[in-house]
Every structure is written in structure tokens, then in C-alpha cells.
A and B are shown apart, each in its own frame.
Chain A
Amino acid sequence: EPEVTQTPSHQVTQMGQEVILRCVPISNHLYFYWYRQILGQKVEFLVSFYNNEISEKSEIFDDQFSVERPDGSNFTLKIRSTKLEDSAMYFCASRRGNLLRVGTEAFFGQGTRLTVV
């Protein structure tokens, strides 16, 4: 069964450093997302990406964050200068088509645990 894969599974970084979280979405999917979950809190939307551009972003997704789909298969989230409060589980997700059609639900990767020290 196709799946969304994320690397690395765990990343420890020093405050102020740049990190890149990588995702390989399911190959025939068109919509891509990053979500995050701070420990003990709910899963929060960060950004959505469709047709090679950002579709929507949340208030969390400030100028320190960027996304890219550099080669048609990878989907990356970059945090330019990490802060302690960026420590969270980051999930990539992808979806095939319009949500109202059966079989187009979002599939999530296993997550990258980012720890900023």
C-alpha cells in the first residue's frame, strides 16, 4: 500500500539553526500539507500546497517557514532559524483530489520529531 514517508524520524537542532524536514508524498496525489503537534496538544495545520504554490497557510507559518517541492517527488519544510517553541512532531500529508469524493482523504506520514535545544 502506498504511503507518505518522512525523514528524518527525529531531528535535534540548536536554537537558531536551520532545519529541513523532508517528505515523499504518495505519487499520484495533488495536494500536500504540513501539520504539527506540540506534545500534549492537538494537531495543527501549518500550510497547504497545490499546483506548485502555497494554497493556504496558518498564523504559525511565518517568515521563518518555507515549503518547496523541488523535484516533483519530495516536499520539504524549512525552518530558517529554529526557536525552542518549534519543538514538536511535524506531519506531512497528501491527498489525491477533492475531499468530497470518496477515496481522497488525507494520508499522513509517520512524522518527524523536532527537538530544539
Chain B
Amino acid sequence: DQQVKQNSPSLSVQEGRISILNCDYTNSMFDYFLWYKKYPAEGPTFLISISSIKDKNEDGRFTVFLNKSAKHLSLHIVPSQPGDSAVYFCAASAPIQGAQKLVFGQGTRLTINP
């Protein structure tokens, strides 16, 4: 049941360039999307989110774009820095009563090369 997919298991980007991480989803009920960053032996850390009523949200170097018709979202990091090297997870949530669980993608390992 792969409702959220990150098709690129890894991505390598030069320092200073733009990193673009992609995520696709299948459940049209999802209305809130998040990106988390994870270092080894640590829990996921929230980065940025977007509601389905928007198509773009920006926070510093991080921008998330949502294309609802394509059921696709992307995370742009610019400029990329060595500290951005981590696994990035896309997550989505549907508006149900109660606790609104997150459904995660498989993650993309981003490596920023100096």
C-alpha cells in the first residue's frame, strides 16, 4: 500500500546548487503534506509543510511545491549546504476525525558534495 512514493532512493548535489526532492501520492483525500529530515540514529525532524489549499510554501532556503492535479510535491533546497546531507521523508495526512496520522514515503538520501 504505497500511498506516498519517493521514487529516488538517493540524490547527489554539488554544494551551492539546488536540490530537488520529489514525492508522489495516490490518495486524493490527503490534504496536508510535510517534509521531514532524518539523520542516522535520530528521529525525523520537521522541515516544512503545505496545505492542499496552497501550491507553494517557502521558509528560508526551503520551498515546497504542490501540484494537486498531478498528485505531486517537491522540496527545493537552495543553496544546498553540506549540513543538508540526510534522508528526507515526504509525509501526508488525510482529514479524518481524531489524530490524523502521517503516511510516509520511503525516503530519499540526499548527499551534498563540497
Contact = CB atoms under 8 A, between A and B. Distances in A.
Given A41-B106, A99-B93, A100-B31, A55 B45 contact: no
Contact of A106 (B102, B105, B106): B102
B105 A55 contact: no
Contacts of A110: 41-43
A42 B106 contact: yes
Interface stretch (A12-20, A45-53, A74-82): A45-53
A31 B41 contact: no
Interface in B76-114: 89, 91, 93, 95-96, 98-107
Nearest to B48: A105
A25 interface: no
A110 B34 CA distance: 18
Nearest to B53: A100
Q: Lowest 9 A-B CB distances belong to which pairs?
A: A48-B99, A108-B43, A55-B98, A55-B99, A43-B104, A42-B106, A45-B101, A31-B99, A105-B46
Contacts, number: 70
Interface of B: 31-32, 34, 36, 41-46, 49, 51, 89, 91, 93, 95-96, 98-107
B49 A105 contact: yes
Nearest to B42: A110
B101 A48 contact: yes
A110 B55 CA distance: 31
A111 B44 CA distance: 9
A108 B41 CA distance: 12
B1 to A, nearest CB: 10
A50 to B, nearest CB: 5
A108 B101 CA distance: 13
Contacts of B43: 4, 6, 91, 93, 108-111
